[in-house]
Structure 1
Amino acid sequence: MSWERRLGELDLPDRFAPAIPRPVTMIGVALACTILAFAARWLVDQVLPAAGPFALTVPFVLAASLFARAFAGVLTQTFCALYAWYFVLPASGSFAFAVPSDGPRVVVNVLAGFAVVALAEVFRSAVRRAVAERDDALERRDLYLHEFDHRVKNNFAMVASLLDVQRRQFAEDDPAHEALSVAAGRVDLIARAHESLYRGDGLPTLVDMRDCLGELCGTLSHSLNLPGGVNIACQAETAWLPRDRAIAIGLIVNELATNAAKHAFAGRDSGRVDIAFHRRKGGYCLIVEDDGVGMASKEGEPPLSRHGGLGQRLIDAFAMQARGKLTRDTDGPGTRFVFELDGAEEKE
């Protein structure tokens, strides 16, 4: 929240209550504003003695009314008017009027000061009502989002349960068993990306990639039944991306990491899959690499041959949805996939 908004919504009696009773706060603010008005009057008198005897009261009356309610404004106006009447108007040090026209002047200036208090209270009350309505709307929105989130999570859980029931009907070495496991993983990823939208820690259409990828890696580590020596590690920078792009990136990571865990460490009890997401000039870079057996590059071999069939088509589709470019590097040990994205639509 900007300082202008915080200042506009400041209500000192409420701010200090219940530690300090509201009437005490209003009286204290009135006294403080009165003292400041006296000090301003003294400074002006050093240069322009007795100039505008009531003019300097207006800013302090307005401040007291806006920040400590009408009662503080009335007190400030009363104290300042009496001071100007007694010490500034001729004759100084007396409530007598040296000039007969000073009487009507005092009455008009005092009434004008109270009018300032009344107008300030009108605007202050309008701001308080607007703030209350805004807070009520936000509370109702959070309630609706919570209910919506609960219902959608139940739907995702139902789909995942149905897939799991179907998966259990096949032997572990059956291709259908693996296909249903992969499908369940995709549903789980979409569910987690959806869940991150309604936590109240960001804009409702953006996803923090650091949290999203971190949770994804944790889920993959537990769901892929990896050998004890095979680890999945994730290092991701905070970046807020639109939901659709975030889900597409997560699905790419899901496909690549799942494939590496299943095929890169054949005959080995140890290995590592590293997932990194960081900023680069003009956008972001996603890297998924492993230290496994690698993917031999043969003449005419498709770029993602280890992901043949549906997996490769899905990766291509997800890359297109995320509006990025996916390349593969097999020069060193293991396999390294680099996915480059532009930085458009990032939250500032």
Structure 2
Amino acid sequence: MEAAVSCVVNEGMPTASCVAKRADTSFGELYKPCLLPDSAYTSRMYLASVISFFCVLIYLFFGLNVYRANPKAQANRVFLALCLNYMLAALFSMFQYSALSLEACLFWNTLHLPFSFLSVGLLMHFHIVLCTTKKQPLWVYVLAYLPSLYFIAYAVSGRAYLGDFALGPYGWYPRLMAPPLISALNVGIFFLFLAIELALLVLYRRRSRLRRVKRQARALMHAMLLSFAVSGAYNALVLGRGLPMPLLPFALQLIWIAGIWFALKRYDFLGLSISFASRQIISHINETLLLCDDGLTIVETNERFRKLSGYADDEALGLSVSQLFVGEDLNALVLRLQSGVEQQGTVEACLRSSAGKAIPVMAYASTLRDKAGELEGLIFVAEDLRPLKQLEALNAKNETLLNEKKLLLAEVHHRIKNNMATIRAILNLQASASDNAEAAAAIGDAENRVLSMAVLYDKLYRADSYRKLSCDSYLSPLVDEILENMPTVAAIRVEKNLGDFDLPADALLPLGIIINELITNALKYAFKGRASGAIYLSAESAGGIIRIQIADDGVGLPDQVDVGKSPGFGLSMIESMAKQLGGSVRLNRGERTAFIIELNAAACPA
């Protein structure tokens, strides 16, 4: 059977012979030329195809760019489908405009039309997803796609939607539009859907207090209206006047799609929204968390919150922060966060459970802002204070007993100090009554050793902690006491360089005896025959090592005297005490005679 269409060549076109095709023409023959135009005409003819090809690439970029930013967001997935739909429409149009036979043109047009009609439903679908906060019932989406399905069925039924095609200077173009009834229906549905989408954007803009959302809605409306204006002008100036120009609706719709892409990209709708982020993040955190929007409405909670408050899965959603939290401090903090005075804060408040019970919590609140600095919402982290309150109540009951124990321990140290003073007095009397000079000297040495213990217990009695004392607060007064108890000593100057670090209480007694022994010996023997001299005391703690040095600028020690070799009791006792502390003592001879005590801080008794 002969084909029902014929090739039409416009006036001014190069002459060509048209070969009629049969209705059973194979797919491989669809691109077989029935016209043999000259080369200049061919270059103009492919212009529409080049435009179509660039539209294919641009639509693909827009869709993938949005989708890759957040593949799980429903709006992003619908936008990708919309872009892919326009991409296929442009692809088939590219083949249609550059077809070298009428049969090929009609074939590719049949494939192009369903995707062109489907875009109407996809655009409505996108605006429903973007502008509504709740999931819509299935029948809403059925109504959105119903016109598209009708026109697709009309186009694939074999009835021509567009009229006769002619070959113009830029490729094939429709000389006649669809039948008047179908065209009127198409225009009516287009205007109806345009009005619905504009209404959705207006409500979307008014419902939010965010400037970012308002600007985004305004950008979407501007893109929609600009695309509509350009399409109307094109149809009136080109198609309405019967000019031999290809139909490029997908190219004009590129204005709309580019506007949507810009609105999503510019106003940060590609990232995680509050509702999406909450599901993915909050549910995996063990702390009690709540998420609210910029209107202080709870949009998400996690399992720990539901266990603490007794609310069911979604029972707390939609409540305001003031309905869940009670406390003037928290209300004031929320106002400061909303105004931008603070970005985060912590206050004590009460969480109202589902049963109406007030649960004391420590509430940490922080703002969630977009890149433009607009407030998106607040996140609350609440810590249950009931165990702490119970502990505070228990501590209050035991506070009296604890104070009594502190007083008792202080009294013990005070009595020990008094006993030390008594022992010193007895030793002093004994030394004064002794006719043996060596015995009196030995008793005096014992008195000085008791002095170091008395100083220690006096400091422990006055200290806030009985477990440790600072190096300076113990050694400095100890040296002063030793100097006061030896009034016959020459004018000896003592220079102290004591670091600010703590010493454990159990290490202080043997350390005090060592310091007492070394300074007493220096006062007795280092400055014989001299009117003055100097003793240098330094202490430091670095790298876990405590280093104490006692030096003098006196006459020095005989060569046969050394730590561990001296026949006297004093140096032997010093070495024994240092080993008791897990340390060592060494003697340095030089311009100054110096004893260096090194202790391992970790090895000292605690």
Q: Same fold (TM over 0.5)?
A: yes
Q: Which residue of 2 aligns with 1:169?
A: 433
Q: Which residue of 1 aligns with 2:134?
A: none
Query: Following the alignment from structure 1 to structure 2, what is the Cα–Cα distance between the partners of residues 325 and 223?
Result: 28
**2:371 paired with 1:112:** no
Higher mean C-alpha deviation, range 208-217 or range 307-316:
307-316
**2:454 paired with 1:194:** no
Identity of aligned residues (%): 25
Cα displacement (A) at 1:279: 2.1
Unmatched 5+ stretches in structure 1: 1-39, 78-110
**2:579 paired with 1:327:** no
Match of 1:43 among 295, 301, 304: 295
Query: Following the alignment from structure 2 to structure 1, what is the Cα–Cα distance between the partners of residues 429 and 387?
Result: 62
Query: Following the alignment from structure 1 to structure 2, what is the Cα–Cα distance between the partners of residues 63 and 124?
Result: 21
Q: Which residue of 2 aligns with 1:214?
A: 476
Match of 2:576 among 317, 331, 334: 317
Which amino acid counterpart does residue 455 of structure 2 have in structure 1? R
- Aligned pairs (5 A) from 1:161-310: 161-171=425-435, 174-202=437-465, 204-297=466-559, 301-304=560-563, 308-310=567-569
**2:599 paired with 1:337:** no
Query: Following the alignment from structure 1 to structure 2, what is the Cα–Cα distance between the partners of residues 291 and 221?
Result: 17
Which amino acid counterpart does residue 131 of structure 1 have in structure 2? N
Query: Following the alignment from structure 2 to structure 1, what is the Cα–Cα distance between the partners of residues 328 and 567?
Result: 72
Does the CA contact (< 8 Å) of 2:544 and 2:600 recur in 1? yes
Query: Following the alignment from structure 1 to structure 2, what is the Cα–Cα distance between the partners of residues 118 and 323?
Result: 50
SS at match of 1:225: coil
Which amino acid counterpart does residue 43 of structure 1 have in structure 2? G
Q: Which residue of 2 aligns with 1:90?
A: none
Cα displacement (A) at 1:130: 2.4
SS at match of 1:114: coil
Does the CA contact (< 8 Å) of 1:284 and 1:341 recur in 2? yes
Q: Which residue of 2 aligns with 1:54?
A: 319
Which amino acid counterpart does residue 354 of structure 2 have in structure 1? A
Q: Which residue of 1 aligns with 2:414?
A: 150
The count of residues paired between Structure 1 and Structure 2 equals 264
Cα displacement (A) at 1:41: 7.5
CA pair 138-347 structure 1, distance change in 2 beyond 3 A? farther
TM-score by length of 2: 0.39
Query: Following the alignment from structure 2 to structure 1, what is the Cα–Cα distance between the partners of residues 483 and 557?
Result: 22
Does the CA contact (< 8 Å) of 1:245 and 1:321 recur in 2? no
CA pair 112-245 structure 1, distance change in 2 beyond 3 A? same
Does the CA contact (< 8 Å) of 2:453 and 2:509 recur in 1? yes
Cα displacement (A) at 1:187: 0.8
Which amino acid counterpart does residue 479 of structure 2 have in structure 1? C
Cα displacement (A) at 1:256: 0.9
Does the CA contact (< 8 Å) of 1:288 and 1:338 recur in 2? yes
CA pair 200-58 structure 1, distance change in 2 beyond 3 A? farther
Q: Which residue of 1 aligns with 2:400?
A: 136
Higher mean C-alpha deviation, range 220-229 or range 262-271:
220-229
Query: Following the alignment from structure 1 to structure 2, what is the Cα–Cα distance between the partners of residues 130 and 192?
Result: 37
Higher mean C-alpha deviation, range 252-261 or range 233-242:
233-242
- Aligned-residue CA RMSD (Å): 3.7
Does the CA contact (< 8 Å) of 1:273 and 1:290 recur in 2? yes
Which amino acid counterpart does residue 598 of structure 2 have in structure 1? E
Does the CA contact (< 8 Å) of 1:217 and 1:233 recur in 2? no
Query: Following the alignment from structure 2 to structure 1, what is the Cα–Cα distance between the partners of residues 360 and 510?
Result: 57
Q: Cα deviation per residue 1:191-235 (whole Å; 9 max; x = unaligned)?
A: 222333343433x22232211110111111211225452122322
TM-score by length of 1: 0.64
SS at match of 1:207: strand
Does the CA contact (< 8 Å) of 1:242 and 1:345 recur in 2? no
Query: Following the alignment from structure 2 to structure 1, what is the Cα–Cα distance between the partners of residues 527 and 360?
Result: 78
Q: Cα deviation per residue 1:265-299 (whole Å; 9 max; x = unaligned)?
A: 111110011111112333111111111111232xx
* Structure with bigger gyration radius: 2
Which amino acid counterpart does residue 262 of structure 1 have in structure 2? K
CA pair 113-283 structure 1, distance change in 2 beyond 3 A? same
Which amino acid counterpart does residue 276 of structure 1 have in structure 2? S
Unmatched 5+ stretches in structure 2: 1-291, 301-315, 331-346, 362-383
Which amino acid counterpart does residue 342 of structure 1 have in structure 2? N
Higher mean C-alpha deviation, range 265-274 or range 158-167:
158-167
Does the CA contact (< 8 Å) of 2:545 and 2:600 recur in 1? yes
Which amino acid counterpart does residue 321 of structure 1 have in structure 2? Q
Return the structure number with greater helix share: 1
SS at match of 2:439: helix
SS at match of 2:584: strand
Query: Following the alignment from structure 1 to structure 2, what is the Cα–Cα distance between the partners of residues 126 and 62?
Result: 20
Does the CA contact (< 8 Å) of 1:227 and 1:270 recur in 2? no
Cα displacement (A) at 1:113: 5.6
Does the CA contact (< 8 Å) of 1:326 and 1:337 recur in 2? yes
Does the CA contact (< 8 Å) of 1:285 and 1:340 recur in 2? yes
CA pair 63-52 structure 1, distance change in 2 beyond 3 A? farther
Query: Following the alignment from structure 1 to structure 2, what is the Cα–Cα distance between the partners of residues 117 and 47?
Result: 21
Which amino acid counterpart does residue 600 of structure 2 have in structure 1? D
Query: Following the alignment from structure 1 to structure 2, what is the Cα–Cα distance between the partners of residues 283 and 118?
Result: 47
Cα displacement (A) at 1:244: 3.1
Does the CA contact (< 8 Å) of 1:284 and 1:343 recur in 2? yes
Q: Cα deviation per residue 1:32-89 (whole Å; 9 max; x = unaligned)?
A: xxxxxxxx686245989xx834363465227979x88xxx96xx97xxxxxxxxxxxx
SS at match of 1:43: coil
Q: Which residue of 1 aligns with 2:48?
A: none
